[in-house]
Amino acid sequence: MDSTLNKVMNDFPILNQKVNDERLVYLDNAATAQRPNQVIKALTHFYQTDNANVHRGVHTLAERATADYEAARRKVQKFINAPEPEEVIFTKGCTDGLNLVASTYGEANISAGDEIVISIMEHHSNLIPWQQLANRKGATLKYIHLTDDGELDLDEAAQLITDKTKIVAVAHASNVMGTVNPIKQLAKLAHQHGAVFVGDGAQAVPHMAVDVQDLDVDFYAFSGHKMMGPTGIGILYGKRKLLEAMPPYQYGGEMIGFVHEQSSTWAEIPYKFEAGTQNIAGAVGLGAAVDYLTGIGMDAVHEHEQQLVNYLLPKMEAIDGVQVYGPQDPAKHTGVIAFNLENLHPHDVATALDMEGVAVRAGHHCAQPLMAYLGLTATARASFYLYNTQADADRLLVAIQETKEFFNHGSRKTK
């Protein structure tokens, strides 16, 4: 990865700018990643040469657009090692995919007295759909809590997941603490009790190799924009036997078999779940992002980010007044690092870092139950990706120190 890092950085034009007279250090990748030239060009090329609706036309542009769209599906299939392309559904994003499962599989299979198990670290996208499903159906929603080290309490998980459990839904990696969860182990536990396992892969697929067959997940959702693809596009993987038994999520064009005046039949998967005109250009752009990541290699991406975490995490934890949340072992940590600076509100910290050209996020990160569990209202969060460098990590450390000095002494460097 080191040998290609300069080339990688040159692929991202948005990073070649200054913010507040400082070189931009973009550390908000858990919210959304930046796009390389290759993805931007793929979008431009599609709109300039191939733009048409898919599947329904026989003219040349429609056939080219359809070929591009389905090629993107096959790229994603290979990228996550899904058994077949029909198990890959295009969605608006990870949130949309998780809602799809809750509104179709969940609605059809959850009854009063059933139990759904999630973790306390879930993003609202993998919490509220199950919460509301449980409320509608009279089911019980249970939470796996954390060890003192910020990891899932697997002993508690083994107690919570019982024969009453119908769905277990857990993030592959936390968007707040960077914790990588053992979802293969949790999926096995769910299956032992006859439950299905739903994985939220939004923070995992962009950063590590994911094999849905090896994990044996029943459903797995992720977003394109966090892996350098366009916004408004995402993926839901589901096992064929489950998808085929599920009712449609939305109704309209493309998802039908045949429509009569009083009844309708549905198309085969995946089209049963892709009603209306999809984000075709988004799918093409996502395919280009998959090509880009595949060209670098996900093992190389993961190794690069791990090197940054190994370098940064001990240094952040050594700064007086800085509290870092999540596993202390860098090997159990993604490039997401949530932290607070003593006596300072995270929004003030993020604003001060922005004055140094360092872009981080501050807030509850769509994980309010986790914040309440930790006794917090918010944190600052720095999140790294393949185009970040050790120099970026150093800039963050310097900016944190200068923020401390500014608020403690009322002075700041002049530019």
Active site residues: 366
Q: Give dist(CA 175, CA 365) in Å, integer.
A: 8
138's CB contacts (< 8 A; 6+ apart) are 111, 112, 113
Strands (E), 27-100: 88-91
Report DSSP letters for 378-403, one per residue. -EEEEE--TT--HHHHHHHHHHHHHH
Q: How far apart are CA 110 and CA 141, in angstroms?
A: 11
Strands 88-91 and 25-26: unpaired
How do 256-259 and 264-266 pair as beta strands?
antiparallel
Give yes or no for a contact between 158 and 58, defined as CB atoms under 8 angstroms apart.
Answer: no
CB-based burial of residue 91 (10 Å sphere; 0-12 exposed, 13-18 middle, 19+ buried)? Answer: buried
Q: Say if CB 119 and CB 126 are below 8 A apart.
A: no
